Amino acid sequence: MLERYKDGDGVSFADHRALLPERAADFPAAGIVRDGEALELIGWRFPRCQVCGERGGNRHHIIGGAGRSDEATNLIVLCGSGNASGCHAEAHGGELTLARILWYKWRQDRANLSWVRLAILRRGHLPRPEPPRKEVADE
C-alpha cells in the first residue's frame, strides 16, 4: 500500500528511506529556505483548510522548530490561529498527528511533496502517512 503514496518526484513512501542514511545523525544539513513567495502561493492555492475544508485557513509548517523552512513541500493550510482552535490546534497536540498531516499533504498537494526533503527537514525518518478513519472505511 505504501508504494501508492508517490510524491511529486515520483518516489513512493515505501522507497524513500532507501534514498536517506539509516541513522538520522547522518542526514545531510537541511539548508533552511526563507521564501515569502512560497508562503503566499500556498495560501492562494488553498483558500480553505486542507484537513476540514473550513474557509480562511492559515499557512502551517509541517516540520516546524529548527526545520521551519518556507518551501512548498513543508507547507499546509490549516484552520484556526495560534494554538487555540481548529485543525491548527489539533496539529499541536491533538488527533492531527504528523502521520495524518502527511496523508492530507499527499492527498491534496502531492505535486509539491517530497518525502526525502521532509525527512531531511525533520532530521529523522517520517512516520507512515495515516488516513483519517473515515477515509480508511471508504478505500
User: Is residue 83 assigned to a domain?
Assistant: yes
31-46 confidence digits (pLDDT tens): 999 999 999 999 999 9
pLDDT digits (tens, 9 = 90+) for 53-80: 998 789 999 999 876 999 999 999 999 8
In a domain, 51, yes or no: yes
Cβ neighbour number for residue 134 with a 10 Å cutoff: 7
How far, in Å, CA of 71 to CA of 53, rounded?
Answer: 22
CA separation, residue 52 to residues 79, 99, 101, 103, 116 (Å): 8, 16, 12, 13, 26
Q: For the chain, what is the total number of helices (H) and then of strands (E)? A: 6, 2
Q: Is position 131 within any domain?
A: yes
Do residues 61 and 68 touch, judged by C-beta distance below 8 A?
yes
Residue 136 pLDDT > 70, yes or no?
A: no
Report the distance separating Cα 7 and Cα 100, nearest Å: 15
Q: In the structure grid, which three cell numbers stand for residue 48, read together?
A: 480553505
Q: Is residue 23 part of a domain?
A: no
Per-residue pLDDT reduced to its tens digit, 93-131: 878 999 999 999 999 999 999 999 999 999 999 999 999
Residue 138 has pLDDT above 50, yes or no: no
Q: What is the largest CA-CA distance in the chain?
A: 41
Its domain, for residue 7, covers 2-18+29-138
The total number of structural domains in the chain stands at 1
Better pLDDT: 6 or 56:
6
